[in-house]
């Protein structure tokens, strides 16, 4: 029974990783296309906003490639160098990703403000509008695709990557709206304001794009710092361990629980009165109860259950 369950879990894990890698490959192809178009068109039409879109895509290309490599690593079993596996790399890469995005947003905001208080920039509208329409549809298309896959396979890497596409989609949509406004002003005879649309867009977009990395950093820093999560899994662990302790009459116990990437680490220390009443067979029965009652419900978990007759080891 246990062997069959483990085989089913292993198969589900392989399928999840396969879908995850497919999603990240689609994202990588999209970022290559977006980066090339954004940088070429931005230079051609003299638009810092479009160049920012291209730089953001170029950054996403590098981070998506890194995420794809990380997805490959976390699927590998533990080895001599990484004896606890590779899952801890997932939140670390996500934190690095968020920090780099914030740095780019800060630089873009400075550039936009600087241009706004000088002469501004004149943009060639025809090509800029075509690019904005194309990039908006592409970004939101990949965002919705990745969001669907991330919910299906419960992948933090794909979820964070989809958020980057959402940010890029918002950037492109805002650029599109801005250029439509430029064309409208031209038609109304107020072309003197057109030079300031592009730096205004750059400043506004950089502030908007910085919002999502902040929330991603806040969540993933907790995992990097090994802060115990306050979620449904933690409540289930506490409730289940309490019931097991009462049923088997533990003298006392302690529990240490953290989430690292897609894996939970659960350590349970149980205080017993008489070691003679707790032979190895009975200890293994408790381990099996904890495994079947908790691990099967919360998913991939590194479980450690220890027994001691001294309270200092709790």
Residue 10 pLDDT: 54
Q: Which residues of 13-26 are buried (b: 16+ CB within 10 A; e: fewer)?
A: eeebbebbbebbeb
Check residue 140 and report its DSSP letter. H
- CATH 1.20.1510.10 range(s) for the chain read 2-224
Average model confidence (pLDDT) across the chain:
78
What pLDDT digit, counting tens, does each position of 47-85 carry?
Answer: 777 777 777 777 767 776 777 677 677 767 776 777 677
pTM of this structure: 0.62
Q: Cβ–Cβ contacts within 10 Å for residue 283, how many? A: 15
304 pairs with which residues across the strands?
A: 267
CATH code given to domain 2-224: 1.20.1510.10
pLDDT of residue 9: 45
Q: Is the pLDDT of residue 166 over 80?
A: yes
Phi, psi of 70 (to 5 degrees): -65, -40
pLDDT of residue 149: 83
Position with higher pLDDT, 302 vs 88: 302
Q: Please state the rounded mean pLDDT for residues 266-295.
A: 86
Of all residues in the chain, what percent carry a pLDDT higher than 90? 1
Was domain 232-313 assigned CATH 3.90.1150.10?
no
Indicate the range of 65-69, 93-97, 199-203 predicted with least confidence. Answer: 65-69
- The per-residue pLDDT for range 126-156, each reduced to its tens digit, is 788 888 889 889 989 989 988 888 887 777 7
Taking the C-alpha atoms of residue 81 and residue 173, their distance in angstroms, rounded to an integer, is 46
Q: What is the pLDDT of residues 4-54, one digit of tens each?
A: 444 444 555 666 667 777 887 888 888 888 888 888 888 887 777 777 777
What is the DSSP track for 121-133?
----HHHHHHHHH
* 260: phi then psi, degrees, rounded to nearest 5: -130, 105
Residues of the chain with CATH 3.30.70.1350: 232-313
281-304: average pLDDT: 83
**Range scoring the smallest mean pLDDT among 81-85, 203-207, 257-261, 281-285:** 81-85
H-helix segments, 46-84: 48-74
Give the pLDDT confidence score for residue 120 in this predicted structure. Answer: 59
Q: What is the pLDDT of residue 5?
A: 42
Whole-angstrom distance, CA of residue 115 vs CA of residue 123:
13
Q: Nearest CA to 179 among 231, 229, 126?
A: 126
pLDDT for 13: 61
Q: 71, 21 in Cβ contact below 8 A?
A: yes
d(CA 230, CA 168): 31
Measured distance CA(238)–CA(272) in Å, rounded: 19
Which residues make beta-bridge pairs with 202? none
Helices and strands per DSSP (H, E), number in the chain: 10, 3
């Amino acid at each position: 029974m246990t062997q069959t369950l483990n085989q089913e879990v292993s198969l589900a894990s392989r399928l999840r990783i396969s879908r995850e890698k497919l999603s990240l490959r689609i994202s990588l192809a999209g970022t290559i296309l977006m980066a090339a178009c954004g940088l070429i068109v931005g230079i051609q039409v003299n638009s810092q906003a479009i160049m920012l879109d291209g730089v953001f895509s170029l950054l996403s290309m590098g981070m998506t490639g890194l995420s794809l490599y990380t997805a490959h690593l976390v699927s590998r079993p533990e080895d001599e160098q990484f004896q606890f596996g590779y899952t801890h790399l997932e939140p670390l890469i996500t934190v690095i990703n968020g920090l780099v995005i914030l740095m780019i947003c800060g630089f873009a905001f400075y550039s936009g403000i600087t241009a706004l208080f000088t002469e501004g920039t004149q943009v060639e509208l025809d090509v800029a509008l075509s690019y904005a329409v194309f990039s908006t549809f592409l970004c939101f298309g990949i965002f919705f695709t990745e969001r669907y896959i991330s919910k299906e396979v419960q992948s933090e890497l794909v979820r964070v990557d989809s958020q980057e596409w959402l940010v890029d989609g918002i950037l492109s949509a805002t650029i599109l709206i801005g250029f439509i406004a430029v064309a409208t002003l031209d038609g109304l005879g107020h072309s003197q304001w057109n030079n300031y649309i592009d730096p205004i867009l750059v400043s506004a977009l950089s502030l908007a794009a910085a919002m999502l990395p902040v929330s991603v950093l806040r969540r993933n820093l907790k995992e990097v710092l090994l802060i115990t999560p306050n979620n449904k899994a933690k409540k289930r662990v506490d409730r289940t361990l309490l019931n097991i302790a009462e049923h088997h009459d533990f003298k006392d116990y302690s529990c240490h629980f953290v989430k690292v990437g897609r894996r939970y680490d659960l350590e349970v220390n149980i205080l017993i009165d008489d070691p003679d009443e707790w032979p190895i067979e009975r200890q293994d029965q408790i381990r099996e109860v904890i495994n079947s009652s908790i691990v099967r419900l919360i998913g991939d978990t590194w479980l450690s259950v220890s027994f001691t007759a001294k309270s200092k080891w709790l």
